[in-house]
Amino acid sequence: MRYQIEHFTLCDGWVNTWRDDTDAPVTFASYDQALKELNDHYSELREEVQNGFIDDYNMSDFRIAKAKT
């Protein structure tokens, strides 16, 4: 079973917006791998908010779900 990180979008609801260099959707072999990547992403976002580069964000806009493929 594979997992993906989904982002809530107003137009499409929950979608996997994470892409690799070939524009293919990114999935993870385990929930723990996806969670590590999502936590790393949260850390990067927090730094960007603290440095004034982006507006604050809502962590509930992201989730880990079973990949549909």
Q: How far is CA 9 from the centre of its chain?
A: 12
Q: Are 60 and 31 in contact (CB under 8 A)?
A: no
- Confidence class of residue 59 from pLDDT cuts 50, 70 and 90? confident
Q: Are 61 and 7 in contact (CB under 8 A)?
A: yes
Q: Torsion angle, CA of 15/69/3/12, rounded to 10 degrees?
A: 10
Share of the chain above pLDDT 90, in %: 71
Q: What is the pTM of this model?
A: 0.84
Domains in the chain, number: 1
Q: How far apart are CA 11 and CA 40, in angstroms?
A: 26
Please state the rounded mean pLDDT for residues 42-63: 88
Is a pLDDT exceeding 90 seen at residue 14?
yes
- The CA-CA-CA angle for residues 36, 39, 42, to 5°, reads 155
Q: What range does the domain containing 62 cover?
A: 3-66
Is a pLDDT exceeding 90 seen at residue 68?
no
Share of the chain above pLDDT 70, in %: 99
